[in-house]
Chains A and B, each alone.
Chain A
Amino acid sequence: MSIPAETQAGPVTPPAAVPRGKAPPVLSRAWPLLGHLQELRKRPIELFARARSECGEIGEMNFAGNRVVLLSGEEAQEAFFRATDEQLDQAAAYAFMAPIFGKGVLFDATPEQRKQGLRNQSLRDSFMRGHAEVIAAETRAMMQKLGDSGEIDLLDFFSELTIYTSSACLIGKEFRNELGPEYFRVFYELEKGTDAIAYVNPDLPLPAFRARDRARKRLVQLLSAVFERRAAAPKEKRELFDVLLSLKLPDGSPRFSIDHVTGMFISMMFAGHHTTSGTAAWTLIELLRHPEFGARVVTELDSLYADGRDVSYQALREIPELEGAIKEALRLHPPLILLMRKVVYDFHYKGWTVPAGKLVAVSPSLSNRMPECFPDPDRYDADRYKEGREEDAKLFAWIPFGAGRHRCVGAAFAMMQLKAIFSTLLREYAFELAQPPETYRNDHSKMVVQLTQPCRARYRRRAR
């Protein structure tokens, strides 16, 4: 889930009077009531590909009665990404996330509430060097537990590492030091509570949803305890969340409740955690599946850091081979597979009209493998991003971070974070796959995409 970028305060352009066009073609093989929901939960990427091959650049899917019109192809996707918030509302499309974030936080707040919402200063460029230092230190701390050789589960390893780095950078270092192992487990439970069945009703009495609600309640308890401790013993260096909790309304009552601030925290973590964790794992898996690229990355890192320079310096600068590997992992395995908007007033594209009330969507998984934009699209080729090719410059086709006004605001942070992690990890350890290469795959049964376990790798400390 991505956090909406700061909403623009520009004047609202009234919709021009455009005659209503024809209705988009409807995708075949819809079940009664559920429509294509089961296909979405089992084989979502194949579903989107079927919609494109059957209907073309615009086609209507049905998720338990929610009509979702899939736009595909560079041109249709550009129309989607360039549309204004007033026409295509991002937040309204993700109402089913409300049980996770909490009431009034992000996806069920009105546009007006969101305009006054949080501007995450911690993502500013000027903070990046400090973040890189923190990430390198967290990676070293994880490495201390590894010893000279052994085996790790990639999902567990990168999930744990990135929950510490995200908490420390997005929320605050002091704050991160207050967090124990239970918090890590509870957050993972919450991420698992994102079954697409939430389209039917996010409050169905299902085990996964009950676990989700329990996890959220426990998270509020854990975080409240941290907030209270910090409020009782004010530190010299106050962090974002101390400030938010101390804000008062004119009548003296708190501006944000602990529950609300917990919700803001969860939404930021949701945007930055499973996405980065999965990308780190896939970057490594693909480098191990393609050892010629792996060797190039290791050689590049060894030579860049040969002079003893800091990770916090280099992670903010170019590391071309590693960046290519990260971008290629993102292209083939984007962490979000469907981006949605709710149509607020009729959306016209070429001769078609999507009426207000329906959803429109773009799929990064589908787009990132369009053969007309990415030659030989299923082939791993981390050289696609080198000078002269620059396939990521197709802004409305290479879209692991989305595009336009809602493009992931954490994209630069995420790239820096992954560069800092691998700069630290790959100079110290050599990895190899512990399973047949084709057994590593994503689990798409939840809207938060995660690797299917087991996803194991062996490591040994490199000779110095």
Chain B
Amino acid sequence: MKIRVDVDLCQGHAVCREESPAVFDVDSVSSKVVLKLESPDESLRAEVERAVKFCPTRALRLEG
């Protein structure tokens, strides 16, 4: 699975980091999402899917 970010949309609400801290972080200067893992392991799929679903600005997309 591969995560795509639309940075124009991200506002740094940090919901993704709450859902999946292993995969997502928020840069304290730019207030934008940072991917710690671009293609995370399948074992993290459930939490990554939650992060994508609950992103308040729908800035995340999951491929594969």
Contact = CB atoms under 8 A, between A and B. Distances in A.
Contact of A411 (B8, B29, B56): B56
Contacts of B12: 6
B2 interface: no
A144 interface: no
Given A9-B29, A9-B30, A10-B30, A395 B9 contact: yes
B11 interface: yes
Interface in B1-45: 8-9, 11-15, 18, 29-32
A6 B31 contact: yes
A8 B16 CA distance: 20
Contacts of B9: 395, 403-405, 407
A412 B13 contact: yes
B11 A5 contact: yes
A463 interface: no
Contact of A412 (B8, B31, B32, B56): B56
Nearest to B11: A5
Range of interface residues on chain A? 20 to 34
Question: Chain B interface secondary structure, helix, strand, loop or mixed?
Answer: loop
Contacts of A409: 11, 13
A404 B9 CA distance: 5
Contact of A395 (B18, B30, B58): B58
Contact of A8 (B14, B15, B30, B58): B30
Given A8-B30, A10-B30, A404-B8, A125 B58 contact: no
Interface in A376-399: 393, 395
Interface string A401-444: 00111010101100000000000000000000000000000000
Contacts of B56: 411-412
Given A9-B30, A412-B56, A82 B8 contact: yes
A393 B8 contact: no
A124 interface: yes
Interface centre among B12, B14, B57 (most CB of A within 10 A): B57
A390 to B, nearest CB: 10
A398 to B, nearest CB: 10
Interface centre among B29, B32, B56, B58 (most CB of A within 10 A): B56
Interface string A119-151: 100011110000000000000000000000000
Contacts of B13: 123-125, 409, 412
A405 B11 contact: yes
A112 to B, nearest CB: 16
A9 B13 CA distance: 17
22 contacts: A5-B11, A9-B30, A81-B8, A119-B31, A123-B13, A124-B13, A124-B14, A125-B15, A125-B18, A126-B14, A126-B18, A404-B8, A404-B9, A405-B9, A407-B9, A407-B11, A407-B57, A409-B11, A409-B13, A411-B57, A412-B15, A412-B56
Interface of B: 8-9, 11-15, 18, 29-32, 56-58
The 9 tightest CB contacts between A and B, nearest first, are A412-B56, A6-B31, A5-B11, A82-B8, A125-B15, A125-B14, A404-B8, A125-B13, A407-B57
Given A81-B8, A125-B18, 5 more contacts: A5-B11, A82-B8, A125-B14, A404-B8, A407-B57
